């Protein structure tokens, strides 16, 4: 999702035929990097990434615009993520990959008494999050997680940046600090024609839903999807 890639020394950028960065050999054509930037077809995050300024990082300025473009069901995904947290009264929350706070605000709206710890690899994204009450920490989810227990751990569109073994390890570490985990993310769909979210090899590492459910169960959660559309899923996982 949403990275540019420079190929060779001639600085070309892979651009999908609809003008968006994408994946899959037949949606790419190579354009001259500078021509793309001059013509404004390569903007914001993509331009910074292509220029090596922010390779593999999100930037807050055009984040929402980018999400709406690349994930047509972005708003519904956010709402379904929050909805999956609704049935349990929770006070202490941890979010993995808070970004600019789009998921956190929706979850906190359902749990106004709760306090949030949010971690993210990007200080720029956290700085734009506008969550004045939250304890926002710059950190990577591959590293030790904040000290639990938490009544709820949730994550939307962040865990797919880990590979399969990374996800498995994360699920074990999440199980050690909570009994309730909501995971929303891009997945590898059963039907390849459902793979519509642009995937950048090496940066986006989605896995199949059944693998992730198995890894959650191995980590001692009971897990089931609560919403599934194409290559997007919301999974609820809990422990007795």
Ligand X SMILES: C[S@@+](CC[C@H](N)C(=O)[O-])C[C@H]1O[C@@H](n2cnc3c(N)ncnc32)[C@H](O)[C@@H]1O
Total interface residues for ligand X by CB under 6 A: 17
- When asked if residue 136 is in the footprint of ligand X (CB under 6 A), the reply is no
> Distance between CA 208 and CA 203 in Å, rounded?
16
- When asked if residue 234 is in the footprint of ligand X (CB under 6 A), the reply is no
78 contacts: CB under 8 Å, gap ≥ 6: 102, 103, 106, 156, 184
Rg of the chain over Cα atoms, rounded to whole angstroms, equals: 18
Answer for which of 33, 42, 54, 141 binds ligand X (CB under 6 A) is 141
**Residue ranges in 156-215 that form contacts with ligand X under rule CB under 6 A:** 156-158, 161
Q: Is the Cα torsion angle 85, 92, 205, 67 positive or negative in sign?
A: positive
| Backbone angles phi and psi of 181, in degrees to 5 | -130, 130
In angstroms, give the least distance from the CB of 15 to ligand X: 20
In angstroms, give the least distance from the CB of 148 to ligand X: 17
> Distance between CA 221 and CA 180 in Å, rounded?
8
- When asked if residue 118 is in the footprint of ligand X (CB under 6 A), the reply is no
Please name which of 20, 107, 14 lies closest in space to residue 71, comparing C-alpha atoms. 20
**Residue ranges in 22-61 that form contacts with ligand X under rule CB under 6 A:** 58
Answer for which of 33, 82, 84, 102 binds ligand X (CB under 6 A) is 102
- When asked if residue 142 is in the footprint of ligand X (CB under 6 A), the reply is yes
Binding residues for ligand X, rule: CB under 6 A, are 58, 97, 99, 102-103, 119-122, 125, 140-142, 156-158, 161
């Amino acid at each position: 999702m949403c990275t540019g890639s420079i190929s060779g020394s001639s600085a070309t950028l892979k651009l999908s035929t609809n003008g968006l960065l994408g994946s899959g050999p037949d949606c790419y054509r190579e354009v001259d990097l500078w021509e793309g930037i001059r013509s404004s077809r390569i903007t914001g995050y993509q331009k910074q990434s292509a220029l090596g300024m922010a390779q593999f990082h999100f930037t807050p300025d055009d984040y929402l615009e980018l999400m709406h473009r690349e994930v047509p069901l972005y708003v519904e995904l956010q709402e379904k993520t929050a909805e999956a947290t609704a049935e349990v009264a929770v006070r202490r929350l941890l979010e993995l990959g808070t970004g600019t706070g789009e998921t956190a605000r929706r979850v906190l709206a359902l749990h106004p008494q709760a306090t949030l710890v949010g971690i993210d690899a990007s200080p720029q994204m956290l700085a734009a999050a506008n969550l004045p009450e939250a304890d926002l920490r710059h950190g990577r989810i591959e590293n030790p997680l904040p000290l639990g227990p938490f009544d709820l751990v949730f994550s939307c569109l962040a865990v797919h940046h880990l590979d399969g073994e990374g996800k498995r390890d994360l699920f074990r570490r999440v199980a050690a600090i909570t009994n309730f985990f909501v995971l929303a993310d891009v997945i590898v769909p059963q039907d390849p024609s459902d793979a519509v979210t642009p995937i950048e090899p090496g940066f986006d590492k989605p896995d199949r839903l059944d693998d992730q459910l198995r890894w959650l169960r191995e980590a001692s959660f009971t897990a089931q999807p609560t919403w599934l559309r194409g290559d997007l899923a919301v999974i609820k996982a809990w422990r007795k």
